[in-house]
Structure 1
Amino acid sequence: MTEPEEAPAQSSFSRPVVIGAAVVAVLLLGAVLGMFLTQRALNSSEPATPAAGSVEVGFAQDMSVHHLQAVTMANWERDHSTDPQVRQLAFDIQSTQLEQVGRMKGWLMLWGQPEQTTGAYMTWMTQSGGHDMAGMGMPSPGASSSDAPMPGMATNAELTRLRSLSGRDLDVYFLQLMLRHHQGGTAMAQYAHDHTSVAAVKALTQSILDSQGAEIVLMKQMLAARDAQPL
């Protein structure tokens, strides 16, 4: 009787490789979609390509940085939480915002602009528009890199604390940080939505407002269910 062949041992690094490939694929898909939408806009009757210092360029640069911190926090929560509901939320945030980052980086490539600003953050979003960053409890543009540079972002100390927690404490603190993160991000998205004439940017900012608005409501409910309050 022929002995059954043993299944080949799964490589210990196969999971990280698969995850890494998936992240690259999502970013590439977002970049391609971003370039397609922007190119279509440029071929229509839309205004000229956004220039450095414009709301569109500033938003794409700064919101990419903002989103990537959310992705970092969501990845940590997804990999270290044991709460299925919070883990699902973290996965949804990571997936959605990573695709949006790819789209914004695609725009910047097509517009001939760097992926990140070379100056202070948030110079495209003026206080005269009714979004006073100081009123959100946030540092002004040009703050130290050890602080949160944009509305809602976590500081290095807060990220360190998040990584030190486990169980319910981890889940609650993640929800608190991400709720504040979303609130800051929606303020940025609202300003860009109200001040852009580029259809692709208006569409993305509306999508951010819709998805993060729903997640804000959900996170408040999840905190209340865990006898916790927002920060």
Structure 2
Amino acid sequence: MTGRTPRTYWVAGTAVLLALLFAAAATVAAANGDPGAARPRTAPATPGLHSPDAGFARDMAVHHQQAVEMSFIVRDRTEDEPVRTLAYDIANTQANQRGMMLGWLDLWGLPKVVADEPPMSWMGTSGGHGDHAGHGAAKPGALMPGMATKEELEQLGAASGRDAEVLFLQLMTDHHKGGVAMAAGCAQQCVTPVERALAQGMVDAQRSEITLMTDMLGKRGAAPRG
């Protein structure tokens, strides 16, 4: 790792930490009826079933779950400390964010799964994001853009050493790119201030981690895919 790495981790970690702290405080305040947690006058009292707020919470919870899974897989497939540290940071951060988003759905009285709702369909509800413009389609066998297929997860689980490190960094870079596009959509469309803040924190942190992972791949004689 270069001398830039600790600062890159600090920048990414700080952005996510601030978003998490703000989100946690606002969620508790809203649950307690604190007037300081008031929403914009144009925001509904509770997001609707198919609103960007609810759709983002459902879809990003699923997206995050796979990132946590991949991070745990690579942790056991390499002894490389920088990769293991990155994997731990991603798993810890995204597991916490996932719990927060599922908690919001509970708070809003909305289901965590909606039958027959296409993934990311909420991105076409406003703001000109029809057909998921700007972030492409999911590859065959993947649920959402950036997500790995079952076969890729099996390949990661069978790899070891440098091969596991490279594949993890490539898969997670793709995963982050899909996540950034989705989070940017919520930052633009969601009406719940705390959720918008968390989404923007995801955008900033994951872009920083993409830069870090590109550097880590270069040190291993590899590069991001596509």
TM-score bracket relative to the smaller structure: 0.7 to 0.9
CA separation in 1, counterparts of 2:134 and 2:149? Answer: 16
- Matched-pair contact (CA < 8 Å) for 1:37–1:200: no
**More displaced 10-residue stretch of structure 1: 213-222 or 72-81:** 72-81
Alpha-carbon distance change, 222 to 108 in structure 1, aligned in 2, over 3 angstroms: same
How far did residue 91 of structure 1 move?
0.3
- Matched-pair contact (CA < 8 Å) for 2:64–2:98: yes
Moved over 3 A (4+): 31-35, 37-43, 130-135
Q: 1:170 aligns with which of 152, 164, 171?
A: 164
1:219 aligns with 2:213: yes
| 1:6 match | none
2:28 is matched by which residue type in structure 1? F
User: Counterparts in 2 of 1:21-60, with a 5 A limit?
Assistant: 35-36=27-28, 38-39=30-31, 40=34, 44-46=38-40, 47=43, 48-60=45-57
- Matched-pair contact (CA < 8 Å) for 1:152–1:184: yes
2:72 is matched by which residue type in structure 1? N
| 1:157 match | 151
Q: Does the residue aligned with 1:182 lie in a helix, a strand or coil?
A: helix
* Matched length: 197
Q: Does the residue aligned with 2:123 lie in a helix, a strand or coil?
A: coil
Q: Does the residue aligned with 2:191 lie in a helix, a strand or coil?
A: coil
How far did residue 130 of structure 1 move?
6.9
| 1:97 match | 94
**Matched-pair identity in %:** 43
CA separation in 2, counterparts of 1:69 and 1:171? Answer: 17
Deviations 1:108-165 (A, max 9, x none): 00001112232221110129327746963525xxx8xxx2111100011111111110
Alpha-carbon distance change, 37 to 170 in structure 1, aligned in 2, over 3 angstroms: farther
1:129 aligns with 2:123: no
CA separation in 2, counterparts of 1:133 and 1:153? Answer: 17
TM-score normalised by structure 2 residue count:
0.79
CA separation in 2, counterparts of 1:123 and 1:99? Answer: 24
How far did residue 34 of structure 1 move?
7.1
How far did residue 182 of structure 1 move?
0.2
**More displaced 10-residue stretch of structure 1: 153-162 or 41-50:** 41-50
User: Unpaired runs of 5+ in structure 2?
Assistant: 1-20
**Aligned Cα root-mean-square deviation (Å):** 2.6
CA separation in 2, counterparts of 1:37 and 1:133? Answer: 35
- Matched-pair contact (CA < 8 Å) for 2:56–2:182: yes
Alpha-carbon distance change, 135 to 214 in structure 1, aligned in 2, over 3 angstroms: closer
Q: Does the residue aligned with 1:136 lie in a helix, a strand or coil?
A: coil
User: Unpaired runs of 5+ in structure 1?
Assistant: 1-28
Alpha-carbon distance change, 32 to 116 in structure 1, aligned in 2, over 3 angstroms: farther
- Matched-pair contact (CA < 8 Å) for 1:59–1:124: yes
